[in-house]
Amino acid sequence: MCQKVETGMAARVKALALAAWMMSGYACLGLIWCILLRVCAAKLLPRLAYFTAGKPIGNDAPCGKPECDFSQVWPAGLLARAHQYATIYDPAAFWTARRALVFAGAGRVDWIYPPPMLLPAMLVSHLPFEWGFAAWTAVMTLGALAILRWSGVSWPVAVIGMCSPAALWNLELGQVGTLMGALLLGSLLMAPRAPLRAGILAGLLVLKPQFGLLLPAVFGARRAYPAIIAAAMTAALCIILTLALLQGGAWAAYARSGLPAAGAILRAPFALGYQQFGVPVFWMLRSFGAGTGVSYAAQAAVSAACLAAAWRLWRHDRLAPVPRAAITLCLALLATPYGFTYDMVAYSIALAMLAEARGWRIDPLDALLWLWPALCPVIVMRTGLLLTPLVVAIAAGRMFGRATPVPSGYARVTS
């Protein structure tokens, strides 16, 4: 009898400890997210004065650029419409042009995107600068929501994803990570059941190709030939449209000046600048003091390992679609040599999808993983070390450990 009482008390204590652990996760998540929302609003709301009070354009902290990264999109679109491709891809010339077109005190930011990204930039440049930012942000957000819903993501998860720290950072910067992440996640979710749609979404990643490095392994492992064909045709259509509207001058300027500028940004000594928001293994090792050669070799090895892991993960249907897609998103972040925390929106949505599948049971580590895009620069400023790849690897391992394997009798072997 005494033993039964002790067992019952131990079970209650364990249940209370588990409940306290989960409540601490919610408390951590809610507190930090509220702080982030307040900070984001404090940076975005003053921009409304451009519309209502005739306030002159100025630099937005902490970007040092008007409307942050959007101040490269809008002038690049104007210059592309004027066929000034050499100016767009030459860092010094582009900085001079931006100051003339947007704001004389604008900080430097280089345009290193491939020419297909000039197509949406040209469209938004038809609007005034401030209205262009509002339209650009609305299209990125609503487009991502539409793709997520089309891919089967629930409304609660989609909304939570749009409110994640990574998505708020995109909103502030005027970046494209929210839309690109939705394209990648949608492609992964649709690959098992709608390969043609998956391929179309994958092909659109030609706008920012480092997002889709693992998709050839995913589609190849499944022998998803419709996805491969659709992705190739969609990417080819984007390239043909670029050639038709911009001729070959944009691609020549990109090869001559854009790619070297991107390489210079990647190889720059690690400092408390844009690199503190970085994702790649390359920058993590640079923050640890490793040389360029060692960092390149390590990044290449990790990228190759991620490709092999993605192939093995998608060769058989041994995991449910959502955990498999979530793990692949983590592998994609580890594989890319160039990425930032605003590229972690799809990762944040995947974490929310997994939490939804668990009945929204989370703990402090779940909260930490979801909040990491906001915590990353704080940790770098305090320690000088970039730890994002380690955090992403922990997330991937946790996802794999929690995933319930599909019974082998029901697994579809694609070989």
Per residue in 252-306, pLDDT tens?
A: 999 999 999 999 988 988 987 889 999 999 999 999 999 999 999 999 999 999 9
- Cα–Cα dist 182/58, whole Å: 31
Q: What residues have CB less than 8 Å from 370, skipping those under 6 apart? A: 29, 164, 165, 348, 351, 352
Higher pLDDT, 376 or 67: 376
Strand, coil or helix: what is 65?
A: strand
- Cα–Cα dist 300/81, whole Å: 37
- Cβ neighbour number for residue 39 with a 10 Å cutoff: 13
Indicate the pLDDT class of residue 414, thresholds 50, 70 and 90: very low
Instruction: Report CA Rg, the chain.
Output: 23
Tens of pLDDT along 193-249? 999 999 999 999 999 999 999 999 999 999 999 999 999 999 999 999 999 999 889
Over pLDDT 70: what percentage of the chain? Answer: 91
Sign of the torsion angle spanned by Cα atoms 352, 358, 361, 364: negative
- Cα–Cα dist 64/109, whole Å: 10
Question: How many secondary structure helices (H) and strands (E) does the chain include?
Answer: 21, 0
Strand, coil or helix: what is 320?
A: coil
Tens of pLDDT along 316-365? 888 999 999 999 999 999 999 999 999 999 999 999 999 999 999 888 89
65 by Cβ neighbours in 10 Å (0-12 / 13-18 / 19+) ranks as: buried
Beta bridge partners of 413: 316
Sign of the torsion angle spanned by Cα atoms 243, 246, 248, 250: negative
Sign of the torsion angle spanned by Cα atoms 73, 392, 152, 185: positive
- Cα–Cα dist 384/38, whole Å: 26
Give the residue from 361, 331, 330 showing the smallest Cα distance to 348. 330
Instruction: Name the E strands within 123-213.
Output: none
Cis ω for the linkage preceding 323 (within 30 of 0): no
Note the pLDDT of residue 97.
Answer: 94
- Cα–Cα dist 207/209, whole Å: 6
Residue 5 scores a pLDDT above 60: no
- Cα–Cα dist 391/376, whole Å: 10
- Cα–Cα dist 203/199, whole Å: 6
- Cα–Cα dist 387/277, whole Å: 10
- Cβ neighbour number for residue 281 with a 10 Å cutoff: 27
Give the residue from 185, 196, 211 showing the smallest Cα distance to 117. 211
Residue 59 scores a pLDDT above 70: yes
Residue 28 corresponds to which tokens in the numbers above?
């951590």
Q: Please state the rounded mean pLDDT for residues 136-151.
A: 95
The one-character DSSP state at 112 is: -
Note the pLDDT of residue 273.
Answer: 83
Give the residue from 298, 289, 277 showing the smallest Cα distance to 372. 277
Mean confidence (pLDDT) of the chain? 89
Note the pLDDT of residue 14.
Answer: 63
Lookup result for tokens 């000034």: 84
H-helix or E-strand containing 2?
helix 2-44
Q: What residues have CB less than 8 Å from 139, skipping those under 6 apart? A: 179
- Residue ranges of alpha helices (H) inside 254-409 are 259-267, 281-287, 292-315, 321-335, 345-357, 364-383, 388-402
Note the pLDDT of residue 57.
Answer: 79
- Cα–Cα dist 326/354, whole Å: 8
Note the pLDDT of residue 176.
Answer: 95
- Cα–Cα dist 112/276, whole Å: 19
Note the pLDDT of residue 11.
Answer: 66
The mean-pLDDT minimum among 173-177, 195-199, 372-376, 408-412 falls in 408-412
- Cα–Cα dist 324/402, whole Å: 11
Strand, coil or helix: what is 192?
A: coil
Indicate the pLDDT class of residue 403, thresholds 50, 70 and 90: confident
Note the pLDDT of residue 415.
Answer: 30
